[in-house]
Structures are given as structure tokens and as C-alpha cells.
Chain A
Amino acid sequence: MLEFGTQVVAGVTPGKGGQKAHGIPVFETVDEAVHETGATAACIFVPARGAKDAALEAVSAKLDPVVIITEGVPVHDSLQVMEHARRNGVRVIGPNCPGVTSPGQCKIGIMPNHLFKPGSVGVISRSGTLTYEIVAGLSGKGIGQSTAIGLGGDPVVGVSFTDALKMLHDDPETTAVVLIGEIGGSAEEDAARFLEGHRSKPVIGYIAGQTAPPGKRMGHAGAVISGGEGTAAAKIEALRRAGARVATLPGEVAELVQEVLR
């Protein structure tokens, strides 16, 4: 994060207040850290058992966004975090996500810096490494990114595809959006409904799990087709109907982006 220009001003680890990590002061509580350093956002790496408490604390301090990298957070814990965030007007990204970056400006998370290149394409995704794969493809073709957001692989996450699309549509630095979805839930279909009313910027999609069997959880807690809902086919169809170009293979995404930017 430091390498990518993020001003990391404080760490919070209960029991380690007063110490320093990479020259950065560590505090016992988020309130102390905010009071002493003026921190405005949070990135949570706390293991699953303590993630809810850490997230509630960060949201209570009105840090925005609160990015939760942690994988394995119980879903009832996430429900409480999201409710608290709604009440406080705070955006939560994740859990189970690689974070968010605006290449050349800032990063909150764990995405590998060298893959990214400043530019005008927004990237929103439920996955980590698949995002790296597609971003590397974009950068390889000289297509830079404005902002990339890993939304998280859990069934309940904070910022949704629709929320992220709204932000990128309002962002003057973004000219096109790559949406990387996967099986499970209906966040992609919701995003498609939003797109039908707002076709201001081109959207290029890719949905992972086209060959995944129903009822099986494919790695991510949220990646499961249940009761006929959440299939890749339905998501692809919804996005295409809303005017998005949807790639069949991840390798085609960069080409499609090149075409729409031309």
C-alpha cells in the first residue's frame, strides 16, 4: 500500500498500542488512531473470528471506506456489519476481497501493484486472482485502469456491482467498465437492471462458472447455484439484454474493451 502511494498513517492491534510497524504508529483502538492521525479509511486484515468487532469499530469511527480483506467471516456477522454501515453512511468493501485501487494514486488492499496501469477503465469483480488475470490482459494491451474494486466472494458483501457501477458512471476518469461476475446470487442481474436505465458508459462483462454444477460451492462462500438461481447463463443473458458485451473467455475481455474504446 505504501509503495502504491497510500498514506498509511496508523495501525490498530489491541495489545500492541505504542509500538511501531514499518515506522507507522500502532494504537489500541480505532478512535485513538483517528484522533491522533486523522485517518479516513480502514483496511481490515483481522482473522475471521475478530473481523466483525474490528469492522463495527471502524464503521463506528465513520471511516469510509472500510475494506475487509478477511476470508471466512460468518454471514450473520456480516449482516450486522452491513446494517451498521448503512446507518452510518459508510461504504464497506468485502469481506473476502482483495480491496480497491486507483492505479498511480492509492490502494487499500492486497492487489499486486505491478499489474496495474493508470488509465480510464473501471474494473469491478467478485474475485481476486481472476481480476489480476484480466487486469494483466488489459495492461498488456496498453489499456490502463481508473479504479479497480474487488467486491468480495461472500454471499453478503458491502458495495455491490450496482453501487460500484453508479460510482464509476459518476466518475469523470472512467470511460468504460469491466464487470467480472461469477455464479451465485443475483448481484449481476441487479446490475443489469441498473444498466438498462443508465447506458452512459460501455460495460464489458465476464462471468466465471459457466460449467459449474448446481448445488456445489465453488471455492467462494457465495459461488453456489441454488434453487435454479445464480447460473452463469442467466447472468450473461441479463447483462447482454442490458447492452453489455459479455466475453466467453477471460482472454477476450481486453479485446472487447479495445473495441468499445476505439
Chain B
Amino acid sequence: MKLHEFQAKELFAKHGIPVQKGTVIERPEQLDGVVLNYPIVLKAQVLVGGRGKAGGIKLANTLSEARQHARAILGMDIKGEKVKRLLVVEAAQIGAEYYLAFVIDRGAQRLAAIASAAGGIDIEDVARQTPEKIAKVAIDPFFGFQPFHGRTLGRNIGLTGTLLNDFVKTSTTLYRLCVTEDAELSEINPLAVVGDRLLAIDAKVIVDDNAVYRHPDLPRNEELTELEQMARASGLSYVELDGDIAIIGNGAGLVMATLDIVAHFGGRPANFLDVGGGATEENMRRAIDIVARKPGVRALFVNIFGGITRCDDIARGITSSPPPMPMVVRLIGTNEAEGRRILQAAGIHAYLDPEEAAQQVVALVRGRHG
């Protein structure tokens, strides 16, 4: 779960990482009551990246200028996300810009601290073009990230004196935040020199979805579409895509493969939906209901390989809640015979071969196009 910049900065402030003085507004008129020294910066609060390039960050020298920017940015569409809030902060005289992050290193099975003197730009670009500018420390979770790690990291990006001391404090604090808030990423980019201190100009925190239950105090952001939220509430894993063939399968890998098979034969999947291991009749009914709600869906492809999931449960789910569009079913595995009997009684043929079934569903959609 991604946090908005202002939410991440609230966490920073709570843990003791210095941030600029600022406030959040939802309407341009709210600027009138804002007690900040001009010039100020207005920043669109969206979860997608690239807001700067999209015109979502503006500097204002006066109140009227600020109002003008606020009117332009609020309601703006940035990569499909509507701007509902602005973070307004006092502009800072920024010197050098650094990068600091704690991120899960999947290959090393460890949390890694990453720092660079090339802050303010995309760290992935730095990693590709000038990997020597990136300093890294792998962290033993039982030992933790100690101040000496911070000093080593800081020295490796060229810091000395007060700034080095500041960096040690900021990095150890950010580590503590990362662990206590269950973040899979906590990032400051840029971590900038303002006067003789380090200040977090931007803040990015992504909380591990699997650990959100441990943090009832954290805000709940939904990067998800309405249908995706509905699916999540039903315990289904659903991702909206832009095609016209709805897909239901069991197991994330099998559903991903199903999308690939459909695309291979020229079809365009409308979604990813994993009914999960041990899916019940009720799960199946909900799954059909959700995929059918997406506008523009022309056909449904159900691809089930029964393991813990039983084919008869799936078949009952299908027959008790038939989708309002043509459907192709591939059904194989546990209790397959009973599943097929139930479908057959309802006049539904079940395929054994997923590729044959995929070709059939693609043909159905093509036929409908004329």
C-alpha cells in the first residue's frame, strides 16, 4: 500500500525526520487561511509517479499566484489519477541533493540501505548509468542498521561534519520507521542540504500489504479501482486490464498464464482474477459477478485446474450464477467428473485443453465484432 507524500511526511515527523513546514488543502480557498512564508510550493498528492513532469508541482510567490496554481492542479488528471489534495510547503533554498532508501533486496533476502550523491533524479537511472554512485549496506534484521552503518554509508557518498552527523540520525531513524511501519520501501529523494542541515524534500513509503493488519493507525489508501476494491472485500485477487475477455482462474501463476494464452491467440484480457486456492461455490459466484460488471466485456473464459479447489464447487458456482455473456469453461482436476456432469446438465461444455478453450473464446469475441 503506497502512502501519499503528506502521509509519509506525517510518519517522518512522528519518527523525527525533519520535513518542511506545510499543510494539506483540498480547495483553493483554503490557501487564504494558510500561515506559511512565501514563496511556497504546491504539490499534487497522487500515488502515481511523474507528477512533476505532468505539471503537478508549482512554485508560487504570492497568494493570488498560489490560488491560480491550486485551481489548475486540483482536479487535474495525472496518469488516470484525479488530484484531490495539495501539499503546500514553504519553498526551501536547496543545495546538494542526496538519495536515501531502505528497500527489500529480494535476491539477497535482506533489507538494503541505499544512498547516493546523485539525488533528485530517478534512482533506477542512476543505477543503470552510474552504478558507482550508489552505496549499499545489507542489513541483518537481528542486528539492525546501526549508527556506524549510517556513517559508512554517509562517507561513501561524500558527506562530512554536521551533514554526516545529520545523515546518521536520518538514516537510523528511517530504518526504524521502515521496520516498525512494515515498509517494503521507505525513500527520501531528494534528501537535500538546506542551510547546513539535511531536509526530506520528498517522501515515499510503501507499506507491505501483508502487514497492513498490524497498523490500524495508518491511513488506508486505495490505488485500486472500484471493482478491484470490491473484489478485495470478497477475498478475490482481481486486476482490471483493458481488453474485452473476462478471465477467471485459480492460482496466480495459472491466471497469468491464462492471460498469456488468450493474448497469444489474439484475444485481449479484460482482467486478472484469481479465485484462490480452495475456492468455494460462493467465491465463484462473486468472481463471475465482479468480472461481468466491467463495461465492454464480451465473453468470459474460466480456466480451472482443480487441486484443493474442487471442480464440482466451481461448476455449481457457474450454474447458479450464469454470466450475462458467452462463456468458455476449461475444467480439470479434483472432482472433475462431477463438475462436468453439473455443467453438462446446464448445457455447458467443459474443455480439457486450455489452448483449445482460449481459441474458442477468442473466436467468440471476434464473431461478435462481425
> How does the 8 Å CB contact mask read for B211-226 relative to A, with 1 for contact and 0 for none?
1011000000000000
Q: Within the complex, what minimum Cβ distance (angstroms) separates A117 from chain B?
A: 16
- Which residue, of A80, A129, A136, has the highest number of chain B Cβ atoms within 10 A? A129
- Whether, in the assembled complex, B83 has its beta carbon less than 8 Å from a beta carbon of chain A, the answer is no
Q: Which of B109, B208, B250 has the most CB of A within 10 A?
A: B109
Among candidates B213, B307, B354, residue contacting A128 with C-beta atoms closer than 8 Å: B307
Report the bound CA distance from A250 to B249 in whole Å: 15
CA gap between A104 and B358 in the complex, in Å? 34
Complex Cα–Cα for A160 and B142 (A): 22
Question: Nearest chain A CB to B99's CB is how many angstroms away?
Answer: 14
Task: Tell me, in angstroms, the Cα distance from A219 to B249 when the chains sit together.
Answer: 11
CB of B369 within 8 Å of the partner chain? no
Of A71, A131, A211, A222, the residue contacting B263 (CB under 8 A) is A211
Q: Mark A70-103, 1 if CB is under 8 A from B, else 0.
A: 0111111111101110100000000000100000
A177 CB within 8 Å of chain B:
no
- A178-205 Cβ-contact flags toward B at 8 Å (1 or 0): 0010110111001000000000000000
- In angstroms, Cα B177 to Cα A90, docked, is 30
A145 within 8 A of B: no
Chain B 293-334 against A: per-residue CB contact (8 Å), 1 yes, 0 no?
000000000000101110000000000000000000000111
- Whether the Cβ atoms of A210 and B353 lie closer than 8 Å is no
A211-B260, A218-B239, A219-B272 known; A79+B141 contact, CB < 8 A: yes
Which residues of A are found within 8 Å of B257, using beta-carbon distances? Answer: 130, 133, 206, 208, 249-250
Residue contact B264 to A220, C-beta cutoff 8 Å: no
Q: Chain B nearest CB: distance from A32 CB in Å?
A: 25
**What's the least CB distance linking A131 to chain B, in Å?**
7
Closest to A87 in B: B142
* B111, B263, B307, B334 pick with most chain A CB within 10 angstroms: B307
| Inter-chain contact A74/B253, CB cutoff 8 Å | no
A74-B208, A127-B252 known; A79 vs B334 contact (CB < 8 Å): no
A127-B254, A130-B251, A213-B241 known; A76 vs B211 contact (CB < 8 Å): yes
B residues with a Cβ closer than 8 A to A are: 104, 106-107, 109-111, 124, 140-142, 179, 182, 184, 208-211, 213-214, 237, 239, 241, 249-257, 259-261, 263-264, 269, 272, 274, 277, 305, 307-309, 332-334, 353-355
The 27 sampled A-B contact pairs (Cβ below 8 Å) are A72-B210, A73-B210, A75-B182, A75-B184, A75-B210, A79-B141, A80-B142, A82-B109, A83-B141, A98-B307, A127-B251, A127-B253, A127-B256, A129-B309, A130-B257, A132-B333, A156-B109, A157-B109, A180-B253, A182-B256, A183-B256, A211-B259, A213-B241, A216-B239, A219-B256, A221-B210, A249-B264
- Which residues from chain B contact A158 at a C-beta distance below 8 Å? 109
Chain B residue nearest in CB terms to A211 = B263
* Neighbouring A residues of B353 by C-beta, 8 Å: 251
> Is A130 within 8 A of B107, CB to CB?
no
Report which of A72, A74, A110, A206 forms a contact with B182, defined as CB distance below 8 A: A74
Q: Please report whether the interface of chain A is mostly helix, strand, loop or mixed according to DSSP.
A: loop
User: How many residues from A make CB contacts under 8 Å with B?
Assistant: 65
Chain A residues with CB under 8 Å of B260's CB are: 208-211, 249
For the complex formed, measure the closest distance between the CB of A81 and the CB atoms of chain B, giving whole angstroms.
9
**Once the chains bind, are B106 and A222 in contact (CB under 8 Å)?**
yes
| B252 and A218 form a contact (CB under 8 A) | yes
Is the pair B253, A220 in contact by a Cβ cutoff of 8 Å?
Answer: yes
Q: Please, which residues of chain B bring their CB within 8 A of the CB of A206?
A: 257
Say whether, besides A129-B253, A133-B305, A155 and B104 are in contact (CB < 8 Å).
yes
The distance in angstroms between the C-alpha atoms of A160 and B277, with both chains bound, is 23
Most buried by A among B256, B263, B272: B256
Q: Is there a chain B Cβ closer than 8 Å to A223's Cβ? A: yes
Extra pairs beyond A84-B142, A132-B307, A209-B259 (5, CB < 8 Å): A83-B140, A156-B104, A209-B256, A223-B252, A250-B261
Judging by beta carbons under 8 Å apart, are A75 and B208 in contact? yes
**A129 with B259, Cβ < 8 A, contacts A72-B210, A156-B104, A185-B107 known:** no
